[in-house]
Amino acid sequence: MKLPLKRLHTTAVTEARLDRTVQQLTGLSRAGVRGLLDHGCVSINGALSSAPQATVNPGDAVSVQYDPHRRYKETPKPEPDPAYKILFEDDHLIVVDKSAHILTVPTASGKGKTLVDALERHINRGKPASLWKRLHVVHRLDQGVSGVLVIAKSASVASKLKDQFAAHKPNRAYIAIVNGKMERDRGTFRSHLATDYSLNRYSTRKPGHGELAITHFEVMSHSRDTTAVRVELETGRRNQIRVHFAEAGHPVLGDPRYPRQLREADPATAVTSSHPKWRAKRLALHAASLEFTHPASGKTMRFEADLPTEFHPFVR
């Protein structure tokens, strides 16, 4: 005779992680709890959840349905992908520390591995291609730039996060190593950025043209001929940091697109993005932190990505 499935329910009183709530409810080991999550035995407010670190808020109803006579083995996890490191994941979004050597999304040619491709393989592991869920891009980091990036698991979450970015609510901080010794310890670049036929960005004074771009900076340390700066964005225009520092006479090290201080600079005197001590095949630009409001819980979320090792000789 087939035994009935065991059904357990609880209503959360305090905020907690889902895996810890399920463990308290079932008395199973952590491995056993992960197995239940992987096999679709757990739901929050009626919706299946497989993310161990998903947040259970006060008042949420957590249900577990399983066969106590069966062993639920957790699904083997793939080897970590060097393209990214997951900083946080729940049923609504993923926050990662992106490698500098991968595109966020495909280019027009469609060639090359992308972060979105890698993350979609991660969230859909074990599922047939016809059932794959798609991710939704909220913002991007250029290839050559590393650091914190948030990607949504649904169009509605992406829309809410984009609204925050449009309202300049998320706090975004970058670390950059620029050529030359900056004279001001802090300041703000403000210009309107336009795009030329080669898709390069530049500041324009032509009335009615370009997008407003505002970049705040503060010097962290100087070396003999470079400067480490902390940068905060008030707007998030494409290539904004790279253009503003290049036009100020201090290109970001390793930048192949904006290598000189001014578009009309004398090649014989221009400061370039090349430096004998910067041998990394990437830009010296890193998205160090990101803070935003979680679209579902309303909770303030803050994430930081460790400074890449190639930056260490330049930052005191």
Mean pLDDT by 10 residues, the chain (316 residues): 76 89 93 92 89 88 92 80 90 95 80 86 82 92 95 96 90 95 94 91 89 96 93 92 94 91 54 90 96 93 95 90
The alpha carbon of 274 is separated from its chain's Cα centroid by a whole number of angstroms, namely: 27
Q: Where in the chain is the domain with CATH 3.30.2350.10?
A: 78-316
Q: Which two tokens stand for residue 243?
A: 């253009």
What was the pLDDT predicted at 5?
Answer: 84
The alpha carbon of 308 is separated from its chain's Cα centroid by a whole number of angstroms, namely: 15
Which residues are the active-site residues?
Answer: 142
Phi-psi region of 27 (alpha: psi -120 to 50; beta: other; left: phi over 0): left
Strands (E), the chain: 6-11, 16-17, 42-44, 47-48, 55-56, 61-66, 84-89, 93-98, 136-137, 146-152, 171-179, 186-195, 201-204, 211-222, 226-233, 285-293, 300-304
Q: Look at strands 171-179 and 6-11 and give their pairing.
A: unpaired
Q: Which two tokens stand for residue 26?
A: 């079932």
Tokens 């199973």 locate to 28
| Span 78-316 CATH architecture | 2-Layer Sandwich (3.30)
What was the pLDDT predicted at 261?
Answer: 55
Q: Where in the chain is the domain with CATH 3.10.290.10?
A: 6-66
C-alpha to C-alpha distances, 167 to 53, 75, 77, 232, nearest whole angstrom:
29, 40, 38, 15
C-alpha to C-alpha distances, 71 to 5, 31, 33, 40, 148, nearest whole angstrom:
13, 10, 11, 14, 37
> Would you give the DSSP letter of residue 77?
P
| Backbone dihedral angles phi then psi of residue 297, each to the nearest 5 degrees | -90, -20
CATH topology (fold) of 6-66: 3.10.290
Q: Which two tokens stand for residue 171?
A: 């706090």
CB atoms within 10 A of CB 230: 17
Q: Which two tokens stand for residue 146?
A: 């590393």
